[in-house]
Amino acid sequence: MLFLNYLNFLGKICFIMLFCIAGELRQLYKLTPIAVIGGSFFPGLAGHNISEAAAAGCAVLTGHHVGHFSHMVREMQQLNPLSVMQVSGKLELEKVLMELFADAKILESRQKAAKEAFHALSSAVVSSAWDVLNFHLLRQVIF
């Protein structure tokens, strides 16, 4: 399902796209500067995965009810506080979107922070897996 609308926001034409598509987000995130990750603005919805949006270099906005993605959000924010912005409701979301659309430098810094934090976490996972694999292979050769 796709919902598409546009509006004149701060003198710019902005397209608003809502998607409910599995497996296609990686490509779609490359088309947008900002990703508002749903399922995290109300309790009980458990949040949604922010990794594809961050990997694509979107400024990542989410609510506070991130559920089982809380570790990812926390680790990315620890690497760079600008990487993921958690907002509390409609008014704060509107305010943050206005700031991001109005100031290209702020938008760019959030995009860069999200992408770099995601890649740092990803490379740490790969490195850890490689270390474990290397250890077990080395043990088989020695013993």
Average pLDDT for 114-122: 92
Whether the predicted pLDDT of 4 surpasses 60: no
Confidence of residue 45 (pLDDT cuts 50, 70, 90): confident
Task: Residue 24: give the domain boundaries.
Answer: 2-142
List own/partner pairs for 97-100 with CB under 8 A and 24 or more apart.
97/34, 97/36, 97/61, 98/9, 98/10, 100/33, 100/34, 100/59
pLDDT tens for each residue of 56-68: 999 999 999 998 8
Burial degree of 45 (CB within 10 A; 0-12, 13-18, 19+)? middle
Task: Report the 10 Å Cβ neighbour count for 14.
Answer: 14
Number of domains making up the chain: 1
- Give the residue among 77, 51, 55, 73 at the shortest CA–CA distance from 64: 73
Position 131 scores a pLDDT of 66
Rounded distance between C-alpha atoms, residue 21 and residue 103, angstroms: 30
At 42, which CATH number?
A: 3.40.50.2000
Whether the predicted pLDDT of 2 surpasses 50: no
Q: Are 110 and 100 in contact (CB under 8 A)?
A: yes
**Arithmetic mean of pLDDT over the chain:** 82
Rounded distance between C-alpha atoms, residue 111 and residue 33, angstroms: 7
How much of the chain exceeds pLDDT 70, in percent?
70
Confidence of residue 39 (pLDDT cuts 50, 70, 90): confident
pLDDT tens for each residue of 124-142: 665 666 666 666 666 666 6
Position 32 scores a pLDDT of 87
Confidence of residue 74 (pLDDT cuts 50, 70, 90): very high
Q: Which of 16-20, 69-73, 85-89 has the least mean pLDDT?
A: 16-20
